[in-house]
Structure 1
Amino acid sequence: MRQFLTHGKVRVGLAVFGVFLLIALIGPWLVSTALGTDPHRIDYDALGASPGGDHLLGTTTSGQDVLAQLITGCRGSVVVGLLSGVIAVGVAALVGVSGGFLGGRTDQGLTAITNIFATLPSFPLMLIVAGYMTNVGSVAIALLIGLFEWPACARYLRAQTLSLRGRDFVQALRMVGESRRRLVFVEIMPHLTGVLSSLFLRAVVTGVFAEAGLRFLGIGGGDGVTWGTMIANAQQQEGVVRGLWWWFAPPGLFIALLGTATALVNFGLDEIGNPVLRHSSRASIRRARAHLAARRNRTAPAEVAS
């Protein structure tokens, strides 16, 4: 745990991710108290106004404050990502770990189900299913994303469970009569903590991107504000055509930053768990430093001579 928290990439990724979580928690309160507005309030004197004055990030073509929508939309996007990640990883753990540990016909049946879901075009199916729903809120979109994004996680967890099932300590505990439930939850699952964390973070970002894509294609309803709805409204209300960059660029940048933060944490987890990656990363840093030092030594005499 100490090595995990002291790793540079992990610390940076967790810091950025923590900032987004904090904004998601206190965002609506911050908008109502610090900004004194709400994401739906219309300022008829500032329709499509550029950043500055009373609107630090400008307004939409309808006169709504972009900064208020950006802060409030953080909660909607993060909630969709977290909920879809919990669903995807939960179903994947149930299917993958159970199949890998039990084996036999149970494993064959669960693997067949996983392969069927894996071959389905998930995003088009989300569009079709969401199109038949009358009011697609954030929770419904998170459920759709989670239920279609678990097969890849289940395959990876099954492979890891198969490897752990054959370890000596598991075989020894089986011989002394340990129950299957205790073997799974006390012996197998703790060894999968790092894998589950990595898969969860990846599922969160996948959920945020998928939600933005669905919103951009016109799926959704209600008054909820997310980064996806901001980008979709900017496209539908000609904000992109009119060059209102302050309307669609900030939510896109925040989505990219959230993806970068989770990627840094996953890279750090890989380097901590894989000594080859850790040593190769350190070696590349040493080579880069040596190269820069050599360049300085070559350019120093020329500068002195001039």
Structure 2
Amino acid sequence: MAAVMFSNRKSTVGVILFLFFVLMAIFAPFIAPYPPNSTAFTANLPPSGAHLFGTTAQGQDIFSQFIYGARTTLEVGIGAGLLATVLSLLIGVTGGYEGGWVDTVLNFLSNIFLVLPGLALLILIESYVHQSSPEFNGLVIGLTGWAWGARVFRAQTMSLAQRDFVTAAKLSGASDLRIMVTEIMPNMTSIIASNIMYACLAAILAESGLAFLGLENVNSVSWGTMLYWSSQGDAMLTGAWWWFVPPGLGIALVGLSLVLMNYAMDQLTNPRLRELPRRERRMRHE
């Protein structure tokens, strides 16, 4: 899989970009020059050598907030994306393999979550929890964002369950759990990886949206709360572009990196796409 990741220029750029933000989040305490919530600086300073991204209306260093905000946003996004994918696998693979009343019940549950508007459901839940933490928002996003993945995994499992290698495993006496884990799931590796990427992207956008709307502890530092405070401080009206551009650009670039990495997943799923770059190279040499 690593070789495929770096065999395509788009996916290579995506991997490098994503790793850049991950490393920045991990080493945030060593990179950020100031504490993110410190108000010891002059307010509304434009970008300069002392403050690379300027300062907020409260006198906070925006570059430091951007670094620490990356940690919170990625932590919530990746955590919620993984949780949603695990639930998708559990429900989708179980329903698709078992069939019968088990599939009927799980498919009905999936349909309920599919017809519910995602953002409206999150806003409704958050309205009952005042000043929720980013981690709590990530938990809610993960618990409510699994339905689309479950439908994909269910359809794929129903197809794989009819294959000869699954029949052979049944005849050998393997349990249903073992067949699902060792025979079916490994054949869905690329689809699982692709689902994780899009689930993480959806979680990042959802958490940022909730924070921007004030449905999160606004004293926490994330890219979403940075956008919230820039809106509250009328940054766009006063021309303080350095306040809202960095977090918005950070969200966009992380999303772009996940989309670009998905090109590698497409190559794993479709062998013809793996052959295409080779053909292009041959044509160039000819």
TM-score range, shorter chain: over 0.9
Alpha-carbon distance in structure 1 between the residues aligned to 2:110 and 2:276: 35
Alpha-carbon distance in structure 1 between the residues aligned to 2:136 and 2:280: 45
Q: CA deviation at 1:91?
A: 0.8
Alpha-carbon distance in structure 2 between the residues aligned to 1:5 and 1:239: 39
Alpha-carbon distance in structure 2 between the residues aligned to 1:247 and 1:148: 31
Equivalent residue letter for 1:232: Y
Alpha-carbon distance in structure 2 between the residues aligned to 1:140 and 1:5: 32
Of 130, 133, 137, the residue aligned with 1:134 is 130
Alpha-carbon distance in structure 2 between the residues aligned to 1:243 and 1:279: 50
1:4 aligned partner: 4
2:236 aligned partner: 240
Q: CA deviation at 1:12?
A: 2.0
Note the residue ranges of structure 1 that are not aligned, 5 or more in a row: 290-306
2:140 aligned partner: 144
Q: CA deviation at 1:282?
A: 6.9
Q: CA deviation at 1:127?
A: 0.6
User: Normalized against structure 2, the TM-score is what?
Assistant: 0.93
Aligned alpha-carbon RMSD (Å): 2.0
How many residue pairs are counted as aligned between the two chains? 284
CA contact (8 A) 1:130 1:219 kept: yes
Alpha-carbon distance in structure 1 between the residues aligned to 2:51 and 2:72: 22
Question: Does the alignment pair 1:39 with 2:36?
Answer: yes
1:30 aligned partner: 31
Could you say if the C-alpha distance between residues 281 and 241 of structure 1 is closer, same or farther in structure 2, counting changes exceeding 3 Å? farther
Could you say if the C-alpha distance between residues 2 and 48 of structure 1 is closer, same or farther in structure 2, counting changes exceeding 3 Å? closer
Alpha-carbon distance in structure 2 between the residues aligned to 1:55 and 1:3: 40
Deviations, residues 239-260 of structure 1 (Å, cap 9, x unaligned): 1211111111011111111111
Note the residue ranges of structure 2 that are not aligned, 5 or more in a row: none
Alpha-carbon distance in structure 1 between the residues aligned to 2:203 and 2:161: 31
Alpha-carbon distance in structure 2 between the residues aligned to 1:43 and 1:285: 57
Aligned pairs for 1:55-70 within 5 A: 55-70=51-66
Q: Percent identity over the alignment?
A: 38
Aligned pairs for 1:295-306 within 5 A: none
2:259 aligned partner: 263
Alpha-carbon distance in structure 2 between the residues aligned to 1:123 and 1:276: 37
Alpha-carbon distance in structure 1 between the residues aligned to 2:178 and 2:121: 38
Deviations, residues 21-52 of structure 1 (Å, cap 9, x unaligned): 11111112322xxx1x21111135x2101011
CA contact (8 A) 1:42 1:62 kept: yes
Deviations, residues 192-227 of structure 1 (Å, cap 9, x unaligned): 221111101111111111111111111111532000
1:214 aligned partner: 210
Alpha-carbon distance in structure 1 between the residues aligned to 2:133 and 2:95: 33
Equivalent residue letter for 1:59: T
- Secondary structure at the aligned position of 1:253 is classed as helix
User: Normalized against structure 1, the TM-score is what?
Assistant: 0.87
Could you say if the C-alpha distance between residues 7 and 280 of structure 1 is closer, same or farther in structure 2, counting changes exceeding 3 Å? closer
Aligned pairs for 1:174-193 within 5 A: 174-193=170-189
Give the number of the structure whose alpha-carbon radius of gyration is greater. Answer: 1
Q: CA deviation at 1:55?
A: 1.0
- Secondary structure at the aligned position of 1:241 is classed as helix
Q: CA deviation at 1:177?
A: 1.4
Alpha-carbon distance in structure 1 between the residues aligned to 2:2 and 2:143: 34
CA contact (8 A) 1:3 1:272 kept: no
Could you say if the C-alpha distance between residues 43 and 285 of structure 1 is closer, same or farther in structure 2, counting changes exceeding 3 Å? farther
2:194 aligned partner: 198
Q: CA deviation at 1:10?
A: 2.6
Alpha-carbon distance in structure 1 between the residues aligned to 2:281 and 2:198: 26
Alpha-carbon distance in structure 2 between the residues aligned to 1:281 and 1:47: 52
Alpha-carbon distance in structure 1 between the residues aligned to 2:280 and 2:204: 33
Alpha-carbon distance in structure 1 between the residues aligned to 2:85 and 2:126: 22
Q: CA deviation at 1:265?
A: 1.0
Q: CA deviation at 1:275?
A: 3.0
Could you say if the C-alpha distance between residues 284 and 141 of structure 1 is closer, same or farther in structure 2, counting changes exceeding 3 Å? farther
